[in-house]
Every structure is written in structure tokens, then in C-alpha cells.
Structure 1
Amino acid sequence: MRGVTELIRPVWRTLPWPALGTGAAVGLLVAWMSRLYAENFDPWLALNTLRTAALAFALGLAFVLDDPARHTTAAVPVPRFVRQGLRLALVAPVAVLWWTAAVLLVPAELRPPVGATTLEAGAACALALAGAAAWIRRSQEPEPGVSVAAAVLTAAVLAGLLLPDDWKLFVAADDPAWDAAHGRWGVLLGAAVVGWTIWAREPVRR
């Protein structure tokens, strides 16, 4: 436990705050558009605005596990799982505050169901983090953020364009498929969490 507490300060200093800040700022700017031009928005556009904001923040989170000193810190007596978990624990309060601000920026009369959109945002962020953990486990790259962000963005675009109707993820709040789509979002969130718990561990070597 002592080793973990001693890591808090250096981990905080080495978090990729510029990338996180950029994703957060872009996301808030996108959400703010729905308030600035509220007369031109409808609930469907407001929903997609909030989804875009969540995606921007998730792209910033793809950089959270970047560690230029990865091959040096690997020698510390704290497992990778704990080191990555500490990074996520430090970023989590920031993410909660950011999402609260993004939701409140959308006018109340246009705001989509908060619980369901929070599930979508959580799944997007979890997938970005799981992707970063998988990339680190399977490569020696200390800073996979750019590649992971590109992969997440590509996956989001392809999901919106190519998924058949029975597997749609991005549906309108008044669409009969809304509940079914969010069941799929829940599965994605669970899979991402499980994936991170597996990929965050050091591979077993002989």
C-alpha cells in the first residue's frame, strides 16, 4: 500500500493532461453549440451533439496510459494493473465533473435521457481505455494514444455507418429500438471493463 501512495504524486505529474484537456475542451465546445444555437436544434441533433462530445473526451482518454518512461517504471515493485488503475482513479473525478458539465450545457428541453447517454459515454470511454491497455500489453510502445484514438474514432464511424438495423447503437430517444440499443451498450461496457482487467496485467513470461 505504501508503494502505491508514493506513486500518486509522480503519476499525477506524468498524466497526459494536454491530450485530456484537449478532448475535454473540444467536447464541451461541441455540447455548448446546442445552447448557443438552441433555436436550430431538435432532440435528435442535441443527442448526437452530446454523443460527439463524449467521443471527443474518449479520444482524450485514449492517451491516459501513455507513459514515456514505461520501460523504466516497469521495474518498480508495483504491478502494471495497479499502476494503470491508479491513473484511472486519478482521472475518474475529472471525467465525472466533465460529463456533468457537458450534460448541463445541453438545454433542458433538448436534453436526451441522461442515464442512457451516460451509459453510451461510459462505454466509449471504457473501450478507449481497454484498447490502450491491450495495445500496451501486446507491444513495447510506451505511448499508444495516437493509434488507439484513431482506432476508436474509426470504430465509431464504422459502427454508425455499417451496423445493420438489428445491431444499431446510435438510435433516437423515441425510436422503439432505444432500449435494445442500450442493452448492447451495456454489453460493450461490460466487455471493455473485463478486457481492461485482463490486458492491464503483465504477460506471463518464461
Structure 2
Amino acid sequence: MTRISGQLLGPLIRAVDWTPVAAVASVSVGLALATTPGSPVEPDNAAITLRMAGVLLGAAAGFALVDTASATTMVVPVPRWLRQWLRLLLVAAPIAAVWAGTFLILSVRLAEGAELAAPGLATEAIVCLLTGLACTAFVVRQRPERLAAVIGAAVLLGLAVITLPWFEAVWPYPGSPRWDKVHQVWLAVLPVPLVGLFLAHREVSR
């Protein structure tokens, strides 16, 4: 299996649509540089920027799961779950690097004496990434085309918008007394998209 995975990496890297990830990466870095231009960045503003980046990156990541050649690759002795998990891992690495770079830029620009709660913000970003991937993965089972990624991205963006009225209960500001409690919930939610991915990456019956 390891040998097969290694042989698949090259073709999958070429097959993945990297354009949405590259576009969102530019937007994320741009947001980090544009946050309170010419002034130190406060933790609240930095958290908002990082959350926007996390949601956008999660929405873009799903495009890597679109396998338009799935109908023909079914005859290849490579299980679907392996191809899809490799696609996920391929896109997760640059997504993590972009988010970390965005975090680093904001950390350097942070107001003197201020700190960012990295573990909590990283947990949010991971949940957003996995949720975006899971949403697309389920749609891809039925429609292995680019539209599946658009639908998956729309679902994630919709979930983010729906939670805005409960900002303090879902997206608390750094320093909020509810910070730790809210992020315990984020950690508890983390297995849900993972289970969804395991289910969605199964073979598709024809």
C-alpha cells in the first residue's frame, strides 16, 4: 500500500485543481497584511482575520477531492478511499502552511504585550478545514465534478454565517471568560467531520 501511495502522489498532484487554494492563499496573506494597516494589530482583529482565513481555506480545500476521472479509475486496482485520503493529505499540507503563515504575519504585527491564543484558533481552523472537506466529500460521492466542491464550500460558508448571531458562544474574542469552555466544545466537535470523511471516502456502488 505504501508503494502504491508513492506511485500515486505524482499523478494526483497534477490532477488536483490547485487554483482555488492558490487564490484563497493570496487572500489570506493579503488579509493578514491589510488588517489595521500602518498600526499594530489587536488580538480581536487578528482573531477575526484568522477565522476568515480558516473558513475560506476550508472552503477551497474541497476542490482537491474532485476526481473527474473517477468513472475510469474504478477499473484501476487502487481503492477509492486511498485516492481520496491521499488527495486530502496533499491539500491539507499547503492549507496548514498558509494558515500558519497568516498567523505568523499577524503575530509579528501584534500590538506590544498582546498575545494570540494559538491552540484555540488552530482548533477552529482544523474543524473548519475538516468540515469543508467532509461536506464536499459527501457531494463528490454522487457528483464527481467541480460543482461538488462549490456546493461543499457553500455549505461551510453557510454554517459560518449562520453562527454569527451567536458570536460569543461560537467565536469568542481572545480574553473572553468563555474562551476555554467554548473551545472544549470545538474539540468535542472535531471527531464529527472526521467520521464523515471516513464514511464519504468509501467505495461508491455503481
Q: Which residue of 2 aligns with 1:82?
A: 82
- Structure 1 residues 37 and 202: CA distance shift in structure 2, 3 A: farther
Secondary structure of the corresponding residue to residue 35 of structure 2? helix
Match of 1:114 in 2: 118
Counterpart for residue 46 of structure 2: 46
Q: Distance in 2 between matches of 1:157 and 1:34?
A: 21
Between the aligned partners of 2:6 and 2:199, the Cα distance in structure 1 is 23
TM-score by length of 2: 0.88
Once the two structures are TM-superposed, the CA of residue 36 in structure 1 deviates from its matched residue by: 3.0
Residue 140 in 1 paired to residue 143 in 2?
yes
1:131 to 128, 135, 142: 135
- Mapping 1:1-206, distance limit 5 Å: 1=1, 2-34=3-35, 36-39=37-40, 41-106=41-106, 107-109=109-111, 111-137=115-141, 139-143=142-146, 144-161=148-165, 163=166, 168-203=169-204
Mark the CA change 1:23 to 1:74 in structure 2 (over 3 Å): closer, same or farther.
Answer: farther
What is the number of residues matched between the two proteins? 200
Q: CA deviation at 1:164?
A: 8.6
Distance 2:74 2:32 in 1: 39
Shift of 1:92: 2.9
Cα offset, 1:69, TM superposition: 1.4
Q: TM-score, normalised by structure 1?
A: 0.88
Counterparts of 1:164 and 1:177 in 2: how far apart (Å)? Answer: 11
**SS of corresponding position for 1:175:** coil
Question: Would the aligned equivalents of 2:43 and 2:110 in 1 still touch at CA under 8 Å?
Answer: no
- Give 1:142 shift: 2.5
Q: Is the 8 A contact 1:24 1:60 kept in 2?
A: no
Unaligned runs of 5+ in 2: none
4+ runs deviating over 4 angstroms = none
**Alignment RMSD (CA, Å):** 2.0
Q: Is the 8 A contact 2:62 2:137 kept in 1?
A: no
> C-alpha separation between the residues in 2 aligned to 1:36 and 1:202?
49
SS at the partner of 1:136?
A: helix
